[in-house]
Amino acid sequence: MLKGIGIILVVIGHIYSNQTIFNWLYSFHMPLFFLAAGWVYKEKTVLADIKRRIQTIVIPYFSFGFLVLIYWQLMERRFRDSDMSFMDSLFGLFSGCYDNLEFNIHLWFLPCFFVTVILFNILVNLGGRRMAYLVSALMSLAFIVVPMHGLIWGIDRVFKYIGFYAVGVFIAGKSVKAVKKKVEAGIVAIVLLALSFSLSCYHLTMGIMWFVTALIGVAAVILISQLINENRILQYFGRISLIILCIHGPVYRIVVKIVSILLNLGTDAVRENFLLAMVVVVITMAICSTAYEVVVRLAPWMVGKKKVKEN
């Protein structure tokens, strides 16, 4: 549920060109993914975890990365003001450096996520969860104090997000039940969302306030997911969030262009109009869902799954 809500917010944030909404969503939607991943963390031996994460993160990253890079080089790059060469883009794919992923900037998440989950599990294996919590907290503090930028495989961003992953692991160790007092929980969720929105509007998202604002927004989404409890659409989007993350960039840009041609509007006008932007979001999610169903049947390894043996 959390991943489903999170990936919808990611797509909305990338499509709808409203700076206020953009700032608000970006104040918490990526921390939400790391916290949700930590929530389902299970300790494994280091080698077993690395093997599994290569299958579920690294292989999909390179698979979709190469496909989108080829599409970008042959098609989309011709229509964009980009001076990044193919070799620079290829370097970006292998290094995971944010500044070289212009062809599909959203891919930065996967190498960063890979390093985060592998590192946390190594820490747990070395000194237990308490040590992992402590090191994660210290890394988050270091991110605030020490400027970091452009390290390979998103290591600089690992410092930024590992604290949220640790919070998710910590929450998973507690008894979290579905809320019974729905009215009260709904009011709290609305208050938290309003507070999160206000803090982002006043740009209180720097330094230690980055973590405070993010946790407030994430807490609101957790409450909302508990209030909804079950929703097949959100759960489905959560399960296929990987492929949505990997391909929604080029998909939505094509959809925006088609809509702009049909309505005789500029692409910026389409993205600035809330209703039209939401139409693009719906179409993009539908295309990504269709792509997932095709890929999972023809090449499941691309989305980190093994081929199901037929009897």
Q: Rounded to 5 degrees, what angle do the CA atoms 236, 153, 29 make?
A: 40
What average pLDDT does the structure give for the chain?
Answer: 90
- Residue 309 belongs to some domain of the structure: no
| pLDDT per residue as tens digits for the range 85-103 | 888 889 989 998 888 888 8
Amino acid identity of residue 265, one-letter, is L
Residue ranges making up the domain that contains 180: 2-303
* Number of domains the chain is built from: 1
User: What are 215-268's pLDDT values in tens digits?
Assistant: 999 999 999 988 888 899 999 999 999 999 999 999 999 999 999 999 999 999
Is residue 308 situated within a structural domain?
Answer: no
- The pTM of the whole model exceeds 0.75: yes
Read off the pLDDT of each residue in 287-305 and give the average, rounded to a whole number: 94
Burial state string for 289-300 with b = 16 or more CB within 10 A and e = fewer than 16: bebbeebbeeee
- Whether 70 maps to a domain, the answer reads yes
Provide the percentage of residues in the chain whose pLDDT is more than 90: 69
In a domain, 250, yes or no: yes
Mean pLDDT of 195-218: 90
- Running DSSP on this structure, what letter comes out for residue 55? I
174 φ, ψ (degrees, to nearest 5): -105, 165
pLDDT in tens, 111-165: 999 999 999 999 999 999 999 999 999 999 998 888 777 788 989 999 999 999 9
